[in-house]
């Protein structure tokens, strides 16, 4: 006999709590799959916000992706046309995949990250923003450049939190479930 209020087809609370626990084994291919899907989601969602904002500010998508390529090519990226933009897309996706891979691995080590993906995603966004701004950019051909206004900084920071890192956390939580 089933307890009052449950049915054979409705999951119980125990069945709903299927988020990974510390030490749970996940196949390596599954880890890579989750990292790739979370990274691609972040790369796409971020650009859904960045490209229209940059267009409004006067930078075409070509220039946005050339700007990313400028991290490797320097100012020469802006004279290289589509090949530099393609490099910018590749670099953007690579950074997204690496960021997702780091979060996925961290969530396997510390499953608490999956229990509160909204909190962990936003906090991870702060970390990603700080690493990109104060480690990656200074080491690139671009060098350290802070936004020119508080409004632009707020937009950039918010995009890192809500359109980049949060999707990584949400996709990771959705896909890293023990079945």
pLDDT tens for each residue of 144-158: 888 889 999 999 999
pLDDT above 70 as % of the chain = 85
Helices and strands, counts by H and E, the chain: 9, 0
pLDDT at residue 177 above 80?
Answer: no
Higher pLDDT, 168 or 27: 168
Mean pLDDT over the full length of the chain: 87
State residue 15's pLDDT score.
Answer: 38
Q: Round to whole Å and give the CA distance between 169 and 14.
A: 23
Instruction: Show me where the domains of the chain are located.
Output: 28-174
Question: SS3 for 19?
Answer: strand
Tokens of residue 16, six digits: 């709903």
Q: What angle do CA 177, 162, 154 make, to 5 degrees?
A: 160
- pLDDT attached to residue 73: 96
- The model's pLDDT over 8-58, given as tens digits with 9 standing for 90+, comes to 454 433 333 445 554 566 787 889 999 999 999 999 999 999 999 999 999
Greatest C-alpha distance within the chain? 74
More confident residue, 9 or 79: 79
Note whether 32 and 172 are within 8 A (CB): no
């Amino acid at each position: 006999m089933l307890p009052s209020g449950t049915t054979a087809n409705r999951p119980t609370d125990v069945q709903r709590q299927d988020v990974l626990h510390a030490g749970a084994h996940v196949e390596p291919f599954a880890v890579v799959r989750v990292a790739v899907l979370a990274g691609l989601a972040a790369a796409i969602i971020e650009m859904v916000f960045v490209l229209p904002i940059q267009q409004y500010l006067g930078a075409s998508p070509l220039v946005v992706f050339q700007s990313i390529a400028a991290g490797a090519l320097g100012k020469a990226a802006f004279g290289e046309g589509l090949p530099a933009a393609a490099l910018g897309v590749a670099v953007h996706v690579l950074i997204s995949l690496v960021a997702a891979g780091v979060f996925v691995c961290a969530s396997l080590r510390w499953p608490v990250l999956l229990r509160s993906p909204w909190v962990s995603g936003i906090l991870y966004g702060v970390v990603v923003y700080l690493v990109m701004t104060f480690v990656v950019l200074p080491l690139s051909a671009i060098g350290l450049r802070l936004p020119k206004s508080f409004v632009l900084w707020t937009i950039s920071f918010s995009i890192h939190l809500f359109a980049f890192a949060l999707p990584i956390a949400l996709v990771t939580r959705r896909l890293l479930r023990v079945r």
